[in-house]
Chain A
Amino acid sequence: MSELISLIFSANFLNSVIRVSTPLVLAAMAACVGRQANVQTVAYEGMMLFAAFVGSITSAYTQSLLAGVVAGCVVGILVALFYGYFNIYLKTDDTLLGLAINIFSNYGTIFLLFLLTGRKADSSVLPSLKYPMIDLPLIKDIPVIGTIFSGQSLVTYIALLSVLVTYFILFKTKLGLRIRSVGHNPDAAISLGINVNKIKMISLIISGALAGLAGEFMSMSYISFFTKNMISGRGYIGIAASNLGLGHPFASFLYALMFAVSQVIANQMQLLQFQYQFADMLPYIVTIIGLCITGTSELRKERNGGTSKKSKKQIDMPKKENESQLTN
């Protein structure tokens, strides 16, 4: 136990937290944009998996990192647009559609992987490329901060930047205002002449690109090839982070870091001969607890007459109110 504690209070630990947080932060940002536009999807997992697959494979066949990156993002966007078309225009249930896309991508990538390489487990036979590791020029010389922030993968810096960019888009641009108005009150948005469906599709494109980057981190930086089902719930954890942060990029970023901490602790516990199955459970359990905490606080806000919007579940009304409604 003391070993674990000494591992936690080291600069290397924080370095791994930043590294591991990359896909979670990017997925959380994707979910933030979606949440602000009231696109309640769980399909980020599928976008990430397809992007991870296509990014890695494309880079292997073209031997160009840029091509891989672009292809991954494009596929993320395509999956997002597919979701958008079925959800917005064909009125498919969000949960079922998102889940179907996730399982589809899980098996679809295995199917394609088998056709391309003849193997079902991973693409390690293909010479795919990795994102470069970058040493930050001045920062790397500062003692502790240098160890924490310098020497990370390029995507990690993109992820950190994406928090600012997402904030800027959502809160400082015309598009962001429209996205938020569509999410907050679609009827009012329509009355102002905003094309709600179009704005939702645009926000899905942004989410798809972010999720695509998150997926690429897994197959082009975290490890250097694609393995089946490699996202393993990171998309869902991203959604949980954006739920906890109530759709605000900065708050969601902090929660994503919190999940990354639990994941790194889980990894360290494995190194110390701890039962790896229990270590693996940790991030998921932390997510469930986190969801309970936000749920409760949202409920409390509602009861205090706050303006917290709730789209679907208004079941949990105070009992007295309900009774008085009935007697009236």
Chain B
Amino acid sequence: MLKKKANFVSSTKIEKRYTLLRALLAVLISILFCFILILISSEAPLKDILTFITAPLSTKARFYQLLIKMSPIIFTSLAVCVLFSADTANLAVEGAFYAGALASCQISIMENFLPAPFHFIVAALCGAIGAAIVLLIPSFLELKFNANIVVCSLMLNYVINNLGNYLICGPWNDPNCNREATKEIVASAKLPIFLSAQGLKVHVGILIGIALCFVTWFIIYKTKFGYESRTCGKNANFAKFSGINVAKVVIIGSIIAGVLCGIGATAEINGYYKRMDWDKSVGYGWDGIMIACLAGNNPLLVIPGAFFLAYVRTSADVLNMTSNIPIEMVNIVQQVVIIMIAAKNLLSKSQQRAIVANAKKRVETVPEEVVR
């Protein structure tokens, strides 16, 4: 009897299996979509498709480029995971990441401020505060004034974008630099480099990011806050009536997400750039939304998700240089992935069939169990 029981699969398990299947299908479709876009726009499609598949692994420098690209995506994805696990539709991560970079850069350019590791830590702290404030605004407005959080946070992104443009082009601009950028980031605020080849330097931001994946996983799945947050995400009314303070969960979630964004932005600027020269926000927030969807809000799955996106992006970069395929291809494909994954009823018929077949098998064997 025990042996037979082991054969049973619960329907939640089947659902989980199908969620994974959907994610894989989405990735597959997105790659196919890439090929189609290449076929449309390329003059030598076969060669380009081959480049697309193999480029990031072909040389050491390209692989390092991939790692560099991965780092900021991990941070924003984690922030979105935290927000989405409580079902807060706060889309200000894009603005928050930019605000984090803005808030930290004035600390990072101060000379003789603090010795090496502490300078970065203080800068990251500032970035975290800046990003957290931005993420708190829409959450607060929704809780206090019941404002539509989706539109609010999208509008906030535009506001932050303009503010940043003003600061970088205006008061914080370094007149000695021939483009719109702040003064140079001082050496003590820089992140150490652990891999380098052909002028490509991989900073430790990606290691911090991977470490934070585990921390965020712990927060979401192993702490009281995480449990409350996931309960809110599944059913806000149930959470309310079981005594969970929904407002508190949303606020704490926004702060944690903000801190992640701020650290990520500071790590990106202080690790990779010489000066803070983002005169508009750079889109890592949207990447975060895609990866969080792909990973099903599980911080540990963010790592392969971010790797996938960085891989595609590096390929597109190479293609952009070697052929006439526009780099926008990646952003297009990203949205296809989001749509495919968010489509809950995709494969639903097959899933339903699997669940029914499983249940039937179970029903057939139940009488035997009862008899015994």
Genuine A/B complex: yes
- Cross-chain contact B332 with A111 (CB below 8 angstroms): yes
- Nearest-neighbour CB distance to chain A for B309, whole angstroms, equals 14
- The CB with the most chain B CB atoms within 10 A, among A93, A100, A103, A281, is that of A100
Rounded to whole angstroms, the CA-CA distance of A120 and B154 in the bound complex is: 24
B326, closest chain A residue (CB): A114
- Cross-chain contact A236 with B289 (CB below 8 angstroms): no
Rounded to whole angstroms, the CA-CA distance of A106 and B243 in the bound complex is: 43
Q: For the side of the interface on B, what is the size category?
A: 35 or more
A287 close to B (CB within 8 Å): yes
How many residues of chain A have a CB within 8 Å of chain B?
Answer: 54
B151-188 contact mask (Cβ, 8 Å, vs A): 1 or 0: 11011101100110110011000000000000000000
User: Of A91, A114, A288, which one neighbours B344 at CB under 8 angstroms?
Assistant: A91
B323 close to A (CB within 8 Å): no
Rounded to whole angstroms, the CA-CA distance of A313 and B151 in the bound complex is: 15
Rounded to whole angstroms, the CA-CA distance of A110 and B335 in the bound complex is: 15
A201-221 contact mask (Cβ, 8 Å, vs B): 1 or 0: 000000000000000000000
B contact residues around A317 at 8 Å (CB)? 240
A contact residues around B293 at 8 Å (CB)? 96
B342 close to A (CB within 8 Å): yes
Kindly identify, within residues 193 to 242 of chain B, every residue whose CB is under 8 Å from any CB belonging to chain A: 236-237, 240-241
Binds A, one of B99-107, B115-123, B141-149, B270-278: B141-149
- Cross-chain contact A92 with B240 (CB below 8 angstroms): no
> Which DSSP category, helix, strand, loop or mixed, fits chain A's interface?
helix
Given A97-B339, A104-B335: A42 touches B241 (CB 8 Å cut-off): no
A contact residues around B286 at 8 Å (CB)? 99, 103
Kindly identify, within residues 104 to 137 of chain A, every residue whose CB is under 8 Å from any CB belonging to chain B: 104, 106-108, 110-111, 114-115, 120
Given A100-B342, A275-B170, A296-B146: A114 touches B328 (CB 8 Å cut-off): yes
User: Of A91, A92, A114, A233, which one neighbours B339 at CB under 8 angstroms?
Assistant: A92
User: Of B158, B236, B332, B344, which one neighbours A281 at CB under 8 angstroms?
Assistant: B158
User: Of A90, A92, A291, which one neighbours B141 at CB under 8 angstroms?
Assistant: A291
- Cross-chain contact A284 with B155 (CB below 8 angstroms): yes
A232 close to B (CB within 8 Å): yes
- Cross-chain contact A120 with B346 (CB below 8 angstroms): no
- The CB with the most chain A CB atoms within 10 A, among B143, B159, B236, is that of B159
Seed contacts A42-B150, A277-B165, A299-B146; 4 additional CB < 8 Å A-B pairs? A95-B89, A115-B326, A315-B240, A315-B246
